[in-house]
């Protein structure tokens, strides 16, 4: 059995596809940022916890809320057959992002002596931004893997596009 597939999507098409994903990622992430900063503020000013402890607590709460948004809204169509693997990788990469954020915050406060609330929030924002880029690339690449696309048995290429013939093996039934 043979099937024909058209040309691979161009870079512009791939970027258009990822822009919608990035927008949704940003919306889920923005809700996580609100949760993160609210819990951070409560921990520092309401509970009197130290900066790094407050950051870790706030980030853990945000990680939990973000997972729900990513799994059940953004990446709901992605492979969920191995939920244990997915959660393990999500926590691993989220933890790495938290270390990036906490490291920048710690360097700011303990390395440079920036300890006012405004300086803490500025350092937290910088760390969160860098950690977010890391998380986005990690989540889409390793955590929420795309389901393999099924080839159409007789896909017709676009007019003027070269056709590619793919031989598919025959299996005995």
> 57 or 149: which carries more pLDDT confidence?
57
pLDDT at res. 151: 45
Q: How many CB atoms within 10 Å of residue 26?
A: 14
pLDDT at res. 150: 45
Which residues are CB-neighbours of 20 under 8 A, at least 6 positions away?
none
Instruction: Decide if pLDDT at 172 tops 60.
Output: no
pLDDT at res. 108: 94
Task: Write down the domain spans for the chain.
Answer: 17-146
pLDDT at res. 162: 59
Instruction: Decide if pLDDT at 60 tops 70.
Output: yes
Averaged confidence pLDDT in the chain: 80
Of the given ranges (7-16, 36-45, 69-78, 103-112), which has the lowest mean pLDDT? 7-16
pLDDT at res. 56: 94
pLDDT at res. 85: 83
Instruction: Decide if pLDDT at 115 tops 70.
Output: yes
Instruction: Decide if pLDDT at 144 tops 70.
Output: yes
pLDDT at res. 106: 94
Mean pLDDT for the stretch of residues 89-107: 91
pLDDT at res. 109: 93
Q: What percent of the chain has pLDDT over 70?
A: 73
pLDDT at res. 111: 94
């Amino acid at each position: 059995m043979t099937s024909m597939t058209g040309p691979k999507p161009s870079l512009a098409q791939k970027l258009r596809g990822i822009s919608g994903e990035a927008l949704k990622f940003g919306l889920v992430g923005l809700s996580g940022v609100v949760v993160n900063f609210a819990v951070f503020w409560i921990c520092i000013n309401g509970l009197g916890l130290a900066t790094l402890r407050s950051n870790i607590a706030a980030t853990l709460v945000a990680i939990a809320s973000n997972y729900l948004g990513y799994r059940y809204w953004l990446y709901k169509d992605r492979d969920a057959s191995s939920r244990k693997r997915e959660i393990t990788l999500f926590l691993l990469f989220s933890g790495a992002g938290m270390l990036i954020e906490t490291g920048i915050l710690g360097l700011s406060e303990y390395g440079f002596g920036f300890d006012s609330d405004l300086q803490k929030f500025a350092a937290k924002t910088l760390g969160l931004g860098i950690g977010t880029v890391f998380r986005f690339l990690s989540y889409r690449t390793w955590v929420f893997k795309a389901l393999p696309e099924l080839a159409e048995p007789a896909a017709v290429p676009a007019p003027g596009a070269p056709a590619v013939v793919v031989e598919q093996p025959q299996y005995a039934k």
